[in-house]
Structure 1
Amino acid sequence: MMDLKNFLWGSATASYQCEGAWDLDERVESMWDHYLHEEGLENGDIASDHYHHFEEDIRMMKEGGQRAYRFSLSWPRIIKNKQGEINEKGLAFYHKILDCCHENGIEPFVTIYHWDLPQYWEETGGWLNEEVCTAFAQYAKVCFQNFHTKIRKWVTFNEPKWFVCSGYLIGNYPPCIQDVSKTIKAAYHVMYASALGIKEFREGGYEGEIGIVHSFTPVNGVDDRIETKIAMRYADNYCNNWILDTAAKGEIPIDLLSELSKQYDISYMKPEQLKIIKENTVDFLGLNYYSRTLVKPYTSGETTFVVNNSGKAGKGSSKVIVKHWFEQVMHDPNSTYTEWDTEIYPKGLKDGLLEVHQKYGLPIYITENGIGMYEDVTVPQVDDEYRISFMRDHIKAMFEAMEQGANIKGYFAWSSFDLYSWKNGCEKRYGLVAVDFDHDRIRKPKKSYTWYRDMINSNAENLK
């Protein structure tokens, strides 16, 4: 087995999904707070209560052999209003987390934005408002100025494709819009904001590296026909290229822009902004991998997005059609799927890593990889052999890509502990550590936690 001495083995969370304390210490309302409260849906008001358990959680990471912790900062906890007033209590909280990481020998791997836009900006139009791009850059600058001595690995955005398309195209996430033109504008503004954040990082002369994290789904076709290859290119532009090409090369795919400009006004993409995007590319790419995208050529029907957030009666209900572009095959009879219609396909990780390595030549981190399941956490220890099998197969696929030259620097299991999973609520459990949400948020390591610890400590010898 290869030498993994400097490899970052870790796990990951996100601020809204784990912190709780949604209105403590002068934190202001996020768009998710507002939406979930207004709709009366299960929310992250308390979540895993990481706000009060972070010392225990980070200690468990250390005891679990982990060397890095990927987490996100909360914009509503740091900046109080549109005028940019700083919440010193919010800064103090993250200083405590960072100090705790360093005391336990854990490398912080920090995301600046993981979906929790302050509601005061959402009320102005959110990512449809160009002013929010500048506000993000100022927020990022506050983070750099205050935490630069304690953070060496920065991420501007987590999964632009997922939150933009869910919020503005599919409409199952706030702001719950279904409008292609608004999706394009929001997507552009997010990538422009990312470049502005990188610009602040470069101009500040801060040590370390800065990247972006993408919800990566490598694209496969059902056959080798030319029609299928065309559908695959459309799907790759939709799923991957507008984030990865833009972040790594500073260039939005020209065929995508050409196609969109036939039907939509994209004149708001200004030359001076495109120049900033071109000049401020990332140092590394973070890839969140759960599954691939299998497509066939478009046959008929209107654009349709059905997402299974239930994990129950909705199993097998997911459906994706992009009119004149592609149809996603959601139910391959040769594959295994979770209750949430996620295909389990480790080979996609290997193939995708090699593709990204060959295309961009940048260091890669697998910033999320895991499986969500229903679990009874009242037992002494959750016997999650399915998670161990999932992780083993995907880590093996990662190693195979590394042996073929992919420059992979780290692997982060999703998630460090059970947390709130957006519209899936708390029943969909990803954690290496169980959290009993009904009994004081008690933490109990699962079998996978021990397996991951032993795998790390043995230099992956137990994968043979």
Structure 2
Amino acid sequence: MTTKTVSRDQFPKDFKWGVATSSFQIEGAHDSDGKGPSIWDTFCATEGKIADASNGHVACEHYTRWPEDVDLIARLGVNAYRFSMSWPRVQPDGQGAWNEAGFAFYDQLITALEERGIERHLTLNHWDLPQSLQDQGGWANRDVCGHFTRYATEVARRFGHRVHSICTHNEPWVIAILGYEQGIFAPGIQSRSQAMQAVHHLLLSHGMALQAMRGLGLATPMGIVLNLSPIYPASDDPKDVAKAKLDDGLILRLYMDALYKGVYPQDVIDHLGSDAPQLQAGDLATMAQSNDFLGVNYYTRNFSSSGNPWDVTSTGNAVTDMGWEVYPQGLTELLCRLHTDYHPQGLWVTENGAAFKDQMVNGEVNDPQRLAYIRDHIAATHDAIQQGVPVGAYFAWSLMDNFEWASGYAKRFGLVHVDFETQKRTFKNSALWYQKFLAGK
């Protein structure tokens, strides 16, 4: 376990320190001011899909409470904020007319962050695809690539000169595998062939969007964010070792090889057989556009077993409320591997955090486990830098408790506690620690 303590001044002077959120998880106002429905609105309305039968209709009311939330960000002392735009808020049908009221919301948010000197890091797709596009097949339909490219270009035209980075997609693995293969996330489809086609179209639309946005002459850094983890075999059994290699291919190499080498790994394609994605000429070259940064979302390591699922509690390490092992050194290992194997131009930790069963007592939320988690993963990031990895950012997930997808409101990841009945925001002790760390105390 990483136990060393580091200070802010041990990091590069231009290092980005931030917090992160996503539109569907915090905004609420699901049908306000012309916003169209997203696949998550539809998924939440499907019985049995969300653990507490909740939805994102209200969430954190960020759509109206954004001034208070920007003040929270400023009080924390971060110099960067990573947020996403709701595609159906600015283009209700995912094609056709733009919704100016939606764009006005993001204009206000960006202006408020500008006034406080906080960098703006914009994500175009954090899972809330317009439902009308899903009705046409969603990410499994190649046509979505053109729709996404037009959306990305319009957003970049309006805001590209006012943000410090643009990310095309957040965690395409989650969108494709949990949404189209396992069906436990929106849109709730269970088809491996559709999932693999969705993978391909997410990566293809990423490349197409980069080309189009750069065609505007913007100097804004552009890239993509992946959820990645080191994967260990559950035992020395050759079957487990082989399974770990395959899982690494399905979770990491499928995406990284396509983005940075212009190929899909052959062992993965062979494994997928008839479910492998269907390509057209030039697709791989388009997908392999040069990225100005690679965002890495890291929460835990994974184990692979050819038999029963691996029980992370047997490692002896702490486990979060999501059931994920706390393993900071896995972040160091992952960053070092990515740097060695792929040499990304910029490497940022774009999400890192943990859910625990927080309790408000006498107006205070004492969350020592989250505090230690954030502290130790910051130290793990520093370890990677010391080993020569040019890591340029760390964004804690999340600014505040929010709608945690299929878990509803039962899992709290925030540095800021949200009382969902009153919408009162309260800094947890982990937030107070991060605030002191950022102040050099």
Q: Which residue of 1 aligns with 2:408?
A: 425
Preserved contact between residue 67 and residue 107 of structure 1 (Cα < 8 Å):
yes
Preserved contact between residue 197 and residue 276 of structure 2 (Cα < 8 Å):
no
> Which among 366, 372, 375 is matched to residue 349 of structure 2?
366
Greater length-normalized contact order (CA 8 Å, ≥ 6 residues apart): 2
Preserved contact between residue 249 and residue 281 of structure 1 (Cα < 8 Å):
no
- CA distance in 2 between partners of 1:412 and 1:248 (Å): 23
Corresponding letter in the other structure for 1:285: L
- CA distance in 2 between partners of 1:445 and 1:86 (Å): 37
Preserved contact between residue 161 and residue 220 of structure 2 (Cα < 8 Å):
no
Q: How do residues 266-345 of structure 1 correspond to structure 2 at under 5 angstroms?
A: 266=277, 268-278=278-288, 280-296=289-305, 298-299=306-307, 328=310, 330-345=312-327
Preserved contact between residue 65 and residue 457 of structure 1 (Cα < 8 Å):
yes
Preserved contact between residue 195 and residue 277 of structure 1 (Cα < 8 Å):
yes
> Which among 420, 428, 431 is matched to residue 449 of structure 1?
431
Q: Which residue of 1 aligns with 2:24?
A: 16
Q: 1:83 to 1:220 in 2, by over 3 A?
A: closer
Structure 1 unmatched runs, 5+: 300-318, 321-327
Q: Which residue of 2 aligns with 1:37?
A: 45
Q: State the 1:226 CA deviation.
A: 5.1
2:425 match: secondary structure = strand
Corresponding letter in the other structure for 1:125: G
Q: How do residues 8-87 of structure 1 correspond to structure 2 at under 5 angstroms?
A: 8-39=16-47, 41-87=53-99
Q: 1:386 to 1:331 in 2, by over 3 A?
A: closer
Preserved contact between residue 356 and residue 369 of structure 2 (Cα < 8 Å):
no
Match status 1:357 vs 2:355: no
Q: State the TM-score, normalizing by the size of structure 2.
A: 0.93
Q: State the 1:260 CA deviation.
A: 2.1
Match status 1:415 vs 2:407: no
Q: Which residue of 2 aligns with 1:163?
A: 175
Match status 1:187 vs 2:196: no
Q: State the 1:103 CA deviation.
A: 0.6
Q: How do residues 133-148 of structure 1 correspond to structure 2 at under 5 angstroms?
A: 133-148=145-160
Q: Which residue of 1 aligns with 2:105?
A: 93
- CA distance in 1 between partners of 2:75 and 2:322 (Å): 31
- CA distance in 1 between partners of 2:94 and 2:74 (Å): 38
Q: Which residue of 1 aligns with 2:383?
A: 400
Preserved contact between residue 87 and residue 94 of structure 2 (Cα < 8 Å):
no
Preserved contact between residue 377 and residue 435 of structure 1 (Cα < 8 Å):
no
Q: State the TM-score, normalizing by the size of structure 1.
A: 0.88
Deviates more, 1:417-426 or 1:222-231: 222-231
Identical-pair percentage: 34
Preserved contact between residue 84 and residue 126 of structure 2 (Cα < 8 Å):
yes
1:157 match: secondary structure = strand
Match status 1:264 vs 2:272: no
Corresponding letter in the other structure for 1:368: E
Q: Which residue of 2 aligns with 1:310?
A: none
- CA distance in 2 between partners of 1:223 and 1:378 (Å): 43
Structure 2 unmatched runs, 5+: 1-8
Aligned CA RMSD, in angstroms, stands at 1.8
Paired residues in the alignment total 428
Q: State the 1:337 CA deviation.
A: 1.7
Q: Which residue of 2 aligns with 1:230?
A: 242
- CA distance in 1 between partners of 2:361 and 2:205 (Å): 44
Q: State the 1:141 CA deviation.
A: 0.6
2:400 match: secondary structure = coil
Q: State the 1:219 CA deviation.
A: 1.4
- CA distance in 2 between partners of 1:339 and 1:2 (Å): 31
> Which among 125, 131, 134 is matched to residue 119 of structure 1?
131
Query: Any idea what the Cα deviations from partners look like across 1:388-412, whole Å, max 9, x if unmatched?
Result: 1111111111111110011111101
Q: 1:9 to 1:83 in 2, by over 3 A?
A: closer
Moved over 6 A (4+): none
Deviates more, 1:68-77 or 1:182-191: 182-191
